[in-house]
Amino acid sequence: MVTHRHAQRIAVKRTVIRSVAALIGMFAFAFALVPLYDVFCQVTGLNGKVSNSAQQIAHQSVDEDRYVTVQFITRGSAGLPWQMSVANHQLRVNPGEISEINFTFMNHSDKESLGRAVPSVSPSEASQYLRKINCFCFDEQKLNANQKLMLPLVFQVVRELPKDINTITLVYTLYPVNGKEISLVHGSRDKKGDTI
Amino acid sequence: MAKLPPKPIPLHSTAGVADGHLDTHKAQAKGLMRWLLTTNHKEIGTLYLLFSLCMFFVGGIFALVVRAELFQPGLQLVEPEFFNQMTTMHGLIMVFAAVMPAFTGLANWMIPLQIGAPDMALPRLNNFSFWLLPVAFTLLLSTLLMPGGAPNFGWTFYAPLSTTYAPPSTTFFILALHIAGISSILGAINIIATILNMRAPGMRLMDMPLFVWTWLITAFLLIAVMPVLAGVITMMLMDINFGTSFFNAAGGGDPVLFQHLFWFFGHPEVYIMILPAFGIVSAIIPTFARKPLFGYASMVYATAAIALLSFLVWAHHMFVVGLPLVAELFFMYSTMLIAVPTGVKVFNWVTTLFRGSISFESPMLFALAFVVLFTIGGFSGLMLAIAPADFQYHDTYFVVAHFHYVLVPGALFAIMAGVYYWLPKWTGHYPNERLGQWHFWLSVIGVNLTFFPMHFAGLAGMPRRIPDYALQFADFNMVSSIGAFFFGISQLLFVIVVIICVRGGKKAPAKAWEGAEDLEWSVPSPAPLHTFETPPRFERSS
């Protein structure tokens, strides 16, 4: 009887240790899901997040027979007294073609501030096929009091874009940037020492 | 709790016996301290059940505030902000403070009795995991009195509603949920340790009653997903207070990630709230049909299959966030696949009834209503699983109707069935059958009056979580509100039945129900405080 109780106690201890290990593992897994999710989305382009760095031009001939509408939406943000506008709300482009469009940033306050336009593509499957050769969204912007700044976006919709996608919407949302967190400011130098 | 059996002196052959008095381990605490310090699985089970009952009424009052406001279109009684707090708190209290603790309470009471164990494997931990709950929910309810009000972002607390736009009390909500989560996890560890190690000699896993089986699987689900919930709310806490950007697009985070993480917890969570109910119903139906359960093994495998599939279906809550077509299809089919093991269960219950000698006492009535009404909830779930159709149903009252059908006449009716079924074992008296029948019929009418019209309101396009609505939904809402008050008030009858049963009534023998076969019916009624001090001999019935 005593040995039975003793054996039972050891078995209980073993079960508890295993459950606690599983528990800690699952807690860590929840946090591991954050980078995993980012990697997964980057590989598949599923959450509409677009590459945050300049991409190469895909050298391919322009598909004259197909037109894709690229729409631009700009949104402000609480906490940043900026306005962002776009020269044209939509462009009709041929896949393979390289296009340029200008965006205007306007600081409405009497103080200089830092902000960033974060892009998102819809439908999300299209995000892989919209290549940005040059974009203000790669960096933070600094606007002086009441300054107006015009910046270009150079992009290409590659020919591999699935046939069922005829319209791509690119949304820019402005977010304030905390001065301390600045890594790259427009006009400063990046890691390689090139002027941005 | 006036007439509790006095604690018998445990018959241990310890050193104390030698000096002429029996060692009772330590001085027996009296009054409140007895309940605060108890390590007895039956007393802790009772505490859990009483706590759950109180919280059921608290959450119910919140629901009635919601239904009162929705009685007519237009804003009559409460501010929209307060309305949102009520829907949120109703959901949180019912899920985390009413349904889950009720099942844990039943597990505490019945699992040791059903497997022939003297107590839970870790009695002190058991006490701790219960007493965490009042702390957690006092904290959660106190947010109602805080400046800015209680959480108002829905029980699913989607970011950024629950981070950037949340009231200041959100940090307290996170803490409360952490404590409740720890309580559930500790409870689950205890249950797993008990079931795996403390079974009566000779009882194999496949000999265990289904309530024990379903709880074992539920406990594994709890261990797998409660840490994920803890992770999510920790990330929220850091986003709110420490400037991280897990769910904030401005800092490179993604609000959709929140929904993925939440539903990775949330979908298994809904099975946590229904699997033990399957176990209870699988005990009651064979008893009152006086036939062994049809397809015991297939019930076990179906439960395990549901639990495994529950990890692969989470994004069916997110069909409209912009998933790619492949994902929509995958989650649509995997969700529909769950209908197969669930169908097996319903088939087995119906087949158990087939050619049985059925009698209709209150526990059986609730169990039968469970089978019928839960199946209705299951079918509306299948409708929602159809991704293209979900674009129409999403966030409408159809969803509200669906999950209330699986949770109220589903989980809640199973809990009530279980209480009626085991009350003779707990108190030594049968619950008053006439009052029980009244309670059942009033509940069934109330539930259907409340939730059935919601299907129509939802299909016609009424969005959920709104304090005001378009005029064409007025009639459906009026019926729902009348039904809700009807249902709410008829639950007072349940309290009366329980109180009467604790105080007296028809004496119950050890085997209180004619067809009951499990081990708990071999101990006297009421079950003495200490049972199975020496393990029973388990004899296989088949």
Report, as an integer, the average pLDDT of B273-279: 97
* Percent of chain A whose pLDDT exceeds 90: 18
Nearest chain B residue to A36 by CA: give it: B257
Contacts of B416 (CB under 8 A, 6+ apart): B366, B443, B494
Q: Which of A27, A75, A120, A168 to mutate to test the interface with B (most CBs of B within 10 A)?
A: A27
Count other Cβ atoms within 10 Å, centred on residue B190.
Answer: 30
> Is residue B381 within 8 Å of residue B313, measured between CB atoms?
no
Q: Supply the CATH classification number for the domain A54-184.
A: 2.60.370.10
**Triad B272, B278, B284: Cα angle to 5°:** 145
For the ranges A75-89, B217-231, B256-270, B383-397, the lowest mean pLDDT is seen at: A75-89
CB contact under 8 A, A30 and B254: no
**What is chain B's Cα-based Rg?**
23
> Is residue B102 within 8 Å of residue B48, measured between CB atoms?
yes
The pLDDT assigned to A172 comes to 87
* Whole-number average pLDDT of chain A: 81
Distance CA B319, CA B328 (A): 6
CB contact under 8 A, B249 and A30: no
Question: Binning pLDDT at 50, 70 and 90, where does residue A61 land?
Answer: confident
CB contact under 8 A, B231 and A23: no
- Bridge partner residues of A132 (DSSP): A155
User: What tokens does A45 get?
Assistant: 């382009």
Distances in Å between the alpha carbon of B530 and those of A188, B6, B46, B524? 76, 11, 14, 11
Distance CA B497, CA B402 (A): 29
CB contact under 8 A, A30 and B256: no
Residue B326 has pLDDT above 90, yes or no: no
Distance CA B422, CA B349 (A): 20
> Is residue B77 within 8 Å of residue B69, measured between CB atoms?
yes
Question: Binning pLDDT at 50, 70 and 90, where does residue B22 land?
Answer: very low
Question: Binning pLDDT at 50, 70 and 90, where does residue B472 land?
Answer: very high
Task: Say if A118 is an interface residue toward chain B (CB within 8 Å).
Answer: yes
**N-term to C-term CA, chain B:** 40
Residues of chain B contacting residue A173, judged by C-beta atoms under 8 Å apart: 249-250
CB contact under 8 A, B254 and A120: no
Distance from CA of B223 to the nearest CA of A (A): 6
- Nearest CA to B501 out of B426, B440, B441 is that of B426
Q: Which of B245, B256, B259, B331 to mutate to test the interface with A (most CBs of A within 10 A)?
A: B256
Distance CA B364, CA B417 (A): 7
Distances in Å between the alpha carbon of B257 and those of A37, A110, B175? 7, 37, 21
SS3 content of chain B, % helix, strand, coil (to 5): 70, 0, 30
The tens digit of pLDDT for each residue in B80-135 reads 999 999 999 999 999 999 999 999 999 999 999 999 999 999 999 999 999 999 99
The pLDDT assigned to A152 comes to 87
Residues of chain A contacting residue B264, judged by C-beta atoms under 8 Å apart: 33
> Is residue B415 within 8 Å of residue B280, measured between CB atoms?
yes
- Bridge partner residues of A171 (DSSP): A73, A120
**N-term to C-term CA, chain A:** 79
CB contact under 8 A, B198 and A8: yes
Report, as an integer, the average pLDDT of B443-451: 97
Model pTM score: 0.87
User: What tokens does B342 get?
Assistant: 């669930």
Largest distance between two CA atoms of chain B: 81
Query: Which residue numbers of B are catalytic?
Result: 90, 119, 155, 183-184, 267, 269, 271, 282, 316-317, 342, 345, 464
Residue B142 has pLDDT above 90, yes or no: yes
Contacts of B388 (CB under 8 A, 6+ apart): none
Distance from CA of A25 to the nearest CA of B (A): 9
Residue B308 has pLDDT above 80, yes or no: yes
Task: Say if A24 is an interface residue toward chain B (CB within 8 Å).
Answer: yes
> Is residue B305 within 8 Å of residue B534, measured between CB atoms?
no
Q: Residue with structure tokens 């009530």?
A: B416
The tens digit of pLDDT for each residue in A139-180 reads 788 888 888 888 888 888 888 888 888 999 988 888 887 655
The tens digit of pLDDT for each residue in B493-505 reads 999 999 999 999 9
Report, as an integer, the average pLDDT of B150-156: 95
Distance from CA of B436 to the nearest CA of A (A): 40
- Nearest CA to B217 out of B296, B310, B144 is that of B310
Q: Residue with structure tokens 């200008």?
A: A102
The one-letter amino acid at B531:
T
Question: Binning pLDDT at 50, 70 and 90, where does residue A1 land?
Answer: low
Q: Residue with structure tokens 């060692």?
A: B23
> Is residue B268 within 8 Å of residue B310, measured between CB atoms?
yes
CB contact residues (below 8 A), chain A span 73-112, against chain B:
77
Distances in Å between the alpha carbon of B476 and those of B109, B395, B459, B539? 41, 17, 12, 54
- Nearest CA to B382 out of B314, B336, B347, B341 is that of B336
Question: Binning pLDDT at 50, 70 and 90, where does residue B26 land?
Answer: low
Residue A65 has pLDDT above 90, yes or no: no
**Which segments within chain A are labelled E, that is strand?**
68-75, 82-86, 90-93, 98-107, 113-122, 130-134, 141-143, 148-157, 167-176
- Nearest CA to B361 out of B198, B241, B160, B515 is that of B515
Distance CA B418, CA B103 (A): 10
The crossing angle, in degrees rounded to 10, of helices B170-197 and B100-115 is 10
The pLDDT assigned to A192 comes to 44
The pLDDT assigned to B386 comes to 96
Residue of A1 and B427 predicted with greater confidence: B427
Report, as an integer, the average pLDDT of B65-69: 97
The tens digit of pLDDT for each residue in A98-154 reads 888 998 888 888 888 888 888 888 887 788 888 888 887 777 888 888 888 888 888
Per domain, the residue ranges of chain A are 1-44, 54-184
* Cβ-based burial of B382 (10 A; exposed 0-12, middle 13-18, buried ≥19): middle
The pLDDT assigned to A111 comes to 83
Residue A182 has pLDDT above 70, yes or no: no
The pLDDT assigned to A108 comes to 86
Residue B196 has pLDDT above 60, yes or no: yes
* Whole-number average pLDDT of chain B: 92
